[in-house]
Each structure stands twice: as structure tokens, then as C-alpha cells.
A and B are shown apart, each in its own frame.
Chain A
Amino acid sequence: MPTTNQTDFSGQPDARGHFGRFGGMFVSETLMGPLRELREAYDRFIVDDTFKAELEADLRDYVGRPSSLYFARQLSQRCGGARIYLKREDLNHTGAHKINNTIGQALLAKRMGKTRIIAETGAGQHGVATATVAARLGLECVVYMGSVDIVRQEANVYRMRMLGAKVVAVESGSKTLKDALNEAMRDWVTNIDNTFYIIGTVAGPHPYPVMVREFQSVIGREARRQILQQAGQLPDALVACVGGGSNAIGLFHPFLDDTSVAMYGVEAAGEGLETGRHAAPLCAGTPGVLHGNRTYLMQDENGQIIETHSISAGLDYPGVGPEHAWLKESGRANYVSVTDQEALDAFHELTRCEGIIPALESSHALAYATRLAAEMNPDQVVLVNLSGRGDKDMHTVAGLDGIKI
């Protein structure tokens, strides 16, 4: 559906999923047929009125959309600069933005006649959001999760199992999110006839980056309308954390043609970019090919993927969605990074001054947003995607304080 006011920024990708030199379809031959089938189904249903109506009703009545846009008065005052608004994705059913996408993909799976759903998960938020929609639609669900993450995110593992999903521990490689994705791909290639793979972020082979973007763009569409209503102006800056990058693309995409709006994607600097122990491929990585697309990666000089580190399991991924790689190279968005400690400080700050406990992932965005806002004027607006709530992180944060819960 081309519209007349589209620029190159929002007109990506091309027909084969390229965002500039990034993206594409780099998969084994067995998956090329199933990916074409998925692309055709997606193209058909995304413009289908019945599908759109069902998706909209689910987002409203089941997820609880629209999520609110909240003016963080106390936080803004403390920064002494721009006004900070929070897009409250933490208020969604299951506690994060992830469900916007799993609802959409599961409806598609149903329409394609698939009876079995698989997913990968890091922090467990996408796994929970997938298990949730699978329970509701009566679909078999298998979630792959690195055995290291299973230990870090015990509560979410239990939630998925209660919802009826089978959680499979992945013991290969670094035993984290990237290996869970490998394992889910292996499952898919083996069970393609009855299985739909719900990827949780804007990565993977085409059409996943564009499909997940479409389902997550509800965030930016709502936020754009809400900020115009509440602040009477477009924001001066958008800030969102970037692991794979789905909450950031969801917020950024509907604003891409608003050239006055600056965009900041915040990666996990872990223990500091200079230590090498981080998860910031856009800030400190190089282009390569992994998980079906060309993008920025954390890799060594021989092209082997290296282990990442972040306090937040949801950002602990060595790649990033190809559209972010392109937005970086085209200069439309800026990519910055925040350390574990800075994210933790922001986590505590928001909790104490606004009474909102953010996810550690979203705390990275908050840390950068407060730094940015302090350098701006009170007539300016910073809009932050509060992508998830911090309940799942109690264990981690308490552990750092020496408390076992």
C-alpha cells in the first residue's frame, strides 16, 4: 500500500527484505520454501479486514491497549531539563511489549493452519508472551531457552510451564539467547509442515523483521497520537533500549518521516565497552551474517560469534535487527550505550521517584533519557519506551544487594 508521503526511511525494506545492504534471507535451502509461504500469508492477511479487526480487538480487550503515555513529572524535575514522557508498555498483559507481536503472529499461524508454535527466549518475556497466546488459541507450544538463562529467569520458566508450554533447555554454544535461536531454527527445519516459528524480535530472515515491526508499530502509532494530544507537539527525542530491537523499531517506525524527531537506541554496555564484556554490536561490532540476516554482530576477526554480557538477559544478544543497522548507517537514528551500573541506578531512580519498577532492559533507555533530558530545555520533550516491568528482575536486583528472595 504505497502512500504519497513516504520517504526512503519508512519505505524499507525492498521486496527481498533488504534494508540498504542489511537484512535479506540467509538460510539453508530447506527454509526458503516455508519462508515464501509465510511471506505470502503475511502479505495477504495484513491487509485483510477480518484479520485486522480480530488483531485490533485482541490488542484492546486482551492486551489492554492503548497503553498509556505518562508524563514523569518527578523524574523530569530531577533532571532539570526536557519533559520526560513514558510509553507504558509495562502495563500490557504479561508485562512487556512482547505480546503485541505474539498475538499477531499467532493469529497468522492459526490462519495458516499450523498447530504447533515454537519460540526462542532470553529473559523469558517473549517465551511467556508466546506461551500465553498459545494457551489461549489451544496450540501446542515449545520454547527454547539457554540453560544459563533458565537459571537467571527461573520465575518466567515456571510461568511458561504453567501456561502449558514445554521449555527446552539449550546446552549448546554459550547456552544463551543466540543458541536458543539456533535450536528453534533446527526445530523449525525439522517440523516445518505443522510448525509456526514465532520470532520475538525484528531479526531473522525476511519477512520476520518487517512482520515483527508491523506488529510492534502499534507502540509508535499510539505514542505519536498521545504526545500530540498531551504535549501539543511532537517529541524532540525518542529513546528505547535495543537488544534485537523490537520495542525500539515499534516506537521509531511511525516517526521516521518526522525528521525533527531525534532517535536514540540504547545498547547494553555491560561492564563497559572498553572491557569487551558487553552486548553492543551497533556501538562496538562489525557487519556480518547471523540468524538469517546481514547486520552488525559481536564477532572475532575470524567471523566467530563471541559471547555477550549484560545484566539484562533480554539485551544479551550478539546481533541486532537489520533495520537498526540501516538506520545507524543512514544516520537517521543514533545508537548509544549504557552500562549495567547506569541501568541499575536508573532502575532504582524511577522506582523511588515515580513508583514504577521498570524492567532492567527498559532501565537502559531510562538511564540514557535522563542524561539526554538534563542537557535539554523544559519546552522540549523526550519520549521513552518503558518496554517492560521489572517484576521478573527482582531476583537479579535483590541478589546484587546480597538478598536472596
Chain B
Amino acid sequence: MSRISQRFEQLAAHNKTALIPFITAGDPDPEVTVPLMHAMVAAGGSIIELGVPFSDPMADGPVIQRANERALKHNTSLRDVIGMVHRFRERDRDTPVVLMGYLNPIEALGYERFAEMAGAAGVDGVITVDIPPEEADDYLAALRAQRIDPIFLLAPTSDEQRIKRICDAAAGFVYYVSVKGTTGSARLAIGEVASKVFHIRKSTGLPVGVGFGIKDPESAQAVAQVADAVIVGSVLVNQIESLADQPDAIAPALSRSISQMRAAMDLI
């Protein structure tokens, strides 16, 4: 069983929902990332989602676009990000790490080489925003060969047939994008999310995570009532941006946000 599945089972045994914080690797500089991953775990992050910087992040809103630009100023590459996971694993062998990014850096490295390197470093799952299952045969084979979970996005525009197809290709969990739009764009409508998650559960036994539009402890709590995982990104990346010139203050600030969300989620 993968580290991701184990983590979901442990949480379920304690009646808890997963909290998945997202940061962009290398933002605001590469030295910050690994200590920040540990801090987020200590504050209550159940799984760490690490963004892989890309020059053309088409699915991201302005906050995460700027995070990509800051990381790329230091030339943070996919190889570098894998190296960060490797360093994280020296002190943490339990917390799952998921990479999220775009296909082209993976194409440049080669699917098999990428999967070998990522697997060896202790990466547990990969979310690639711009590869639908229709194009993913070789990609899936490479990830599965290294026991890395391919995690796919589901959207408000996904019909029943697509939900089924995507869930069949996915492992670890599925990620429901709660709004039509880019990351950080809008507030989610919890009623619609609840009914869609209900539909998704008919097609899969995998845990369902919900992300995009979760901004505070209240929305995290609301989502926790319907989903298995709450994914939070832009609000954390926003904090990193505002503290970019005082890197020592970033970990305490993110820890505070994460523990507040964790506490709100644990109230249910």
C-alpha cells in the first residue's frame, strides 16, 4: 500500500480529514523549501503538495504565477525539486509528498527517467495539470512502474463518463477542482461541491480531495464535512509573497495558518 493510501487510512481511523498544504518549490528561494515542508507537517499538514515551477503555468491564477516566477529566478528545475524531496525524506519517512506541475518539464526529463528519480527520492504522487488520461498511457506506465500514484483532477465540467474514466486511471486520491477558473480565483459554493463529491464517490473508492477557493479556517471546515482532503494553496503562497524579503518569518506564518485550519477541521 502506498504512503498516500496509508495516510488516508490512518486519518480515517481517527475520523479526521486530510489537510494538504501546497507551496511552490523554490519560492521565494530554494533554501527555504525543505524546512518549510517540515514546518507544515508539524503544524498539521497530512500530505505535502509541492509545486514544480514552470514558465507557463496556464491553470494558475496570479498568486501562483508569481510564485513560479520567483522560483524560476533561481532556476529551480524539476531535478532540483526531486532533490528537495530527497532531503525532506532524510528526516521524514512517513508524510506523503505529491508533486504538482505541468507536463513539459517531465517530457524534457523523459517519463521513465523522471519516474525513476522521483521514486528513488521518495515522491509518492504526481499531479500533472495538463495531461488528461486520453494522452497518458506512457506516462501512467512509467509512474506505475515506480509505484508512484498518478493523481488526476476532476472539474465541475467533468461529466459522469469522464469521472469514471479518470477515476479508473487514478491512484492515491482524486482532486476535485471546486470552481471553474484558475487557482485562487473564487470562493467555492459548498452546496455544489457537496453534490459533485457525492457523484464522484459513486465512481470510485479513492479518497476525494477538494481544492481551489479554500481561503480560511471556515471554508476548510466546510469542505472537510464533504471531502476526504482539503487542499489549500494560494492563501499560503500569498503569505510567502508578502514575507519574501524576511524568509525566517515564513515558516511561523504558514504554521499558524495551517494549525488554525487543522483546528477548525478537527471540530467537526
Contacts and interface: CB of A to CB of B under 8 A. Distances in A.
Interface of A: 16, 24-34, 172-173, 178-179, 182, 185-186, 189-193, 287-292, 294, 297, 299, 301-306
A173 B56 contact: yes
A97 to B, nearest CB: 26
B135 A24 contact: yes
B197 to A, nearest CB: 15
A289 B103 contact: yes
Given A29-B152, A303-B105, A304-B55, A192 B157 contact: yes
Contacts of A178: 56
Nearest to A178: B56
Interface centre among A25, A32, A179, A287 (most CB of B within 10 A): A32
B104 A172 contact: no
Given A26-B135, A182-B56, A189-B182, A302 B79 contact: yes
Contact of A186 (B58, B102, B103, B156): B58
A144 to B, nearest CB: 12
Contact of A32 (B59, B72, B102, B157): B157
A313 B107 CA distance: 28
Contacts of B103: 26, 289
| B interface, over-half SS | loop
Contacts of A31: 157
B108 interface: yes
19 contacts: A26-B130, A29-B153, A29-B157, A32-B158, A33-B157, A33-B159, A173-B65, A173-B69, A186-B60, A186-B182, A189-B59, A191-B180, A192-B180, A289-B102, A291-B56, A292-B130, A299-B108, A301-B108, A302-B75
Contacts of A302: 75, 77-79, 105, 108
Closest 9 A/B residue pairs (Cβ): A303-B108, A33-B157, A303-B105, A30-B155, A302-B77, A190-B181, A303-B104, A304-B55, A29-B155
B157 A304 contact: no
A306 B75 CA distance: 12
Contacts of A33: 155, 157-159, 162
A61 B61 CA distance: 42
Contact of A30 (B77, B108, B157, B159): B157
Contacts of B58: 28, 182, 185-186, 291
Contacts of A292: 130
A303 B56 contact: no
Contact of A29 (B57, B69, B79, B166): B166
Contacts of A16: 134
A289 B107 contact: yes
Contacts of B106: 303
A37 to B, nearest CB: 9
B219 interface: no
A291 B132 CA distance: 14
Interface residues of B, number: 45
Contact of B181 (A189, A287, A301): A189
Contacts of A179: 56
Given A26-B103, A305-B56, A186 B157 contact: no
Nearest to A32: B132
A25 B78 contact: no
B253 interface: no
Given A28-B58, A28-B153, A186-B61, A303 B109 contact: yes
A289 B128 CA distance: 12
Nearest to B131: A26
B56 A290 contact: yes
B180 A25 contact: no
A28 B130 contact: yes
A172 B57 CA distance: 10
Contacts of A299: 104, 108
A243 to B, nearest CB: 17
A176 to B, nearest CB: 12
Contacts of B132: 25-27, 29, 32
Interface centre among A29, A297, A306 (most CB of B within 10 A): A29
B95 to A, nearest CB: 26
A29 B158 contact: yes
Given A26-B132, A186-B58, A189-B59, 5 more contacts: A25-B132, A172-B69, A288-B104, A301-B108, A306-B55
A122 to B, nearest CB: 15
Interface centre among A33, A292, A302 (most CB of B within 10 A): A302
Given A16-B134, A25-B132, A186-B61, A305 B104 contact: yes
Interface centre among B56, B72, B185 (most CB of A within 10 A): B56
Contact of B180 (A190, A289, A290, A301): A190
A21 to B, nearest CB: 11
Nearest to B76: A302
Contact of B156 (A30, A191, A289, A290): A30
A16 to B, nearest CB: 6
B217 to A, nearest CB: 26
B104 A289 contact: yes
Interface string B170-183: 00000001001110
